[in-house]
Structure formats: structure tokens, C-alpha cells
Amino acid sequence: MLVLLPPSETKRPGGRRTPLDLDRLALPGLRGVRERVVDALVALSADPETASRVLRLGPTQVDEVAVNAALATAPTLPAIDRYTGVLFDALEPGTLPAPERRWLGQHVLIHSAPFGPIGALDPIPAYRLTAGVAVPGLPPLRRLWADAVTAAIEGESRGFVLDLRSEAYVALGPVPATRRSAYVRVVAAGPDGEVRALNHFNKHAKGELVRALAEGRPRIRAVDDLVDWARGRGITLDGSGPGIVTLRVA
């Protein structure tokens, strides 16, 4: 099983002194694209005013330019610990025992804008870049990443793919049609009984789902396996169409 997560704009600072090593990241076939994006971000950071505009930074965020300038030398943390925000706060990776963290490392990829999909335990620095930003000197990120990421996922041997990414990151590397997969939509029934898609609680529910997967470490080969496992955990998952699974929350 392979789980694809979106990143978060908010990140934990600091880390180990070991700097970024692109050769240590998952999906090594993406190394060339990763190097291009990192080099472009570092070059952009030489002009803080332009970088602030391109990265859409507010007056209190200008220090993010220096974060990008130091990409090649900054401290690193496992990706699952680097990201903060609603999804990762619900996942609480720092409270998981070693076997569950190993499961995350073996089965979870987090789809970042500068590095593409990276392993949950891959060491990365803090950075500032989102899927919709156009970086000077590079094609649009969608054009730069999409085919390369899709090919990398195609070459993966980890079977069934559970896609929890936002649509912006799906566009940076769709799951190939040849792979057994399911895209997760999060919904809840309102007071009127009508089912609606969620925003904030979408991320929270996804974080809780991934934590439950890490704790249970099930063998999932198809949507039916996932739905059956979820039912046993009190999680409501329904196949709602070809390649789509609905996660219902109270």
C-alpha cells in the first residue's frame, strides 16, 4: 500500500545539522527535477523583494526568503515531523511508537512542491513554496512535475495507492490509470441531513485516518480491503465511484 499526502504551508523549524541530500529522498528518478527547483529557489532568494512577491509573502513573512536561500545547507528533519498544521497535528507522528513510524516510512509519501513526493521519514529542510507558485526560470510546476511524478508512481511496487492529496497536488502528479487506487473525499451530514464536503475538518479527518493506518498496519490490496478494515476501526469509508472513496465524519 502507498499513501499519498499533501504537504502543509506551516513547518517546524530547526532539525539535525545534516543538510539536504537529494540522493537520500524516495523516488530517486525525480532527482534531476528536484535539483532544478532547489537551484531556482536559491537563485530567486538572492533578490528578496522579487522573492517575496513571487512567493506571495506578507510583511511578516519576509524571513521565509532566507529559509529558501539556505535550502542546501539548512538543518533537516524527517518530513513527517517537519510539517505542522491541521492534518499533521491530527496524525501526531511524534507520539507514535517506532513500529508505527517505520510503517509511515515504508508506506507514506508527502507530495512537496520543491522535492515532489518524498518519504515520510526522508530528511528535508524547511522551505517556502506552494503548488500554485510560478518560479522564475522554471516551467509551471504542473508541467515540470506531472509526467515525472506519474512515471515514478507507475514504477512503485507498493501496490494499492490511497490518494489523500488536495487537487492542487494531484495536478503535480496524477496517479497513473494503470494503478489500483482510490482518491479520498471527506464529507459530513449537516443538520438538514444533506451531505457536504468539508474544508478544515477534511485535513483533520485525513490525519486521523493515516494515524489509524499506521497503528493497524493493515494489508490493503484493493478498495474493498480498505473499506472492510475501516469498518472494523469504526471509520466510515464508502466506494462512491470508480477510483473514489468517501470518508464520512460526524
pLDDT at position 191 over 70: no
pLDDT (0 to 100) of residue 250: 74
Write the DSSP symbol of residue 47.
Answer: S
* 3-state SS, residue 46: coil
Q: In the structure, what pLDDT confidence band is assigned to residue 193 with cuts at 50, 70 and 90?
A: low
pLDDT digits (tens, 9 = 90+) for 231-245: 999 999 988 777 899
pLDDT digits (tens, 9 = 90+) for 111-125: 999 999 999 999 999
> Over pLDDT 70: what percentage of the chain?
95
pLDDT at position 96 over 90: yes
Alpha helix stretches (DSSP H) within 56-123: 63-69, 79-82, 86-91, 98-107
pLDDT (0 to 100) of residue 195: 65
Round to whole Å and give the CA distance between 241 and 46: 48
Q: Whose CA is closest to 3, among 146, 107, 106?
A: 107
Give burial (CB, 10 Å; 0-12/13-18/19+) of 56. exposed
pLDDT at position 170 over 90: yes
pLDDT (0 to 100) of residue 247: 93
User: In the predicted model, what is the mean pLDDT of residues 200-217?
Assistant: 93
Strand partners, 244: 183, 241
pTM for this entry? 0.94
pLDDT (0 to 100) of residue 156: 87
State the chain's mean pLDDT as an integer: 93
Rounded to 5 degrees, φ, ψ at 178 are -75, -15
User: In the predicted model, what is the mean pLDDT of residues 75-81?
Assistant: 98
pLDDT (0 to 100) of residue 158: 80
User: In the predicted model, what is the mean pLDDT of residues 88-96?
Assistant: 97
* 41 Ramachandran zone, left/alpha/beta (phi>0; psi -120 to 50): alpha
Rounded to 5 degrees, φ, ψ at 145 are -95, -35
pLDDT (0 to 100) of residue 194: 63
Q: Count of domains in the chain? A: 1
Q: In the structure, what pLDDT confidence band is assigned to residue 43 with cuts at 50, 70 and 90?
A: very high
Q: Residue 195's domain spans which residues?
A: 2-249
Structural contact between residues 105 and 111, judged by C-beta atoms closer than 8 angstroms: no
Q: Whose CA is closest to 115, among 17, 212, 32, 236?
A: 32
Q: Whose CA is closest to 78, among 121, 127, 18?
A: 121
Q: Whose CA is closest to 39, among 111, 144, 188, 156?
A: 144
Q: In the structure, what pLDDT confidence band is assigned to residue 192 with cuts at 50, 70 and 90?
A: low
pLDDT digits (tens, 9 = 90+) for 133-158: 999 999 999 999 999 999 999 998 88
Give the residue carrying C-alpha cell 441531513.
193
Give the residue carrying C-alpha cell 468517501.
246
pLDDT (0 to 100) of residue 60: 86
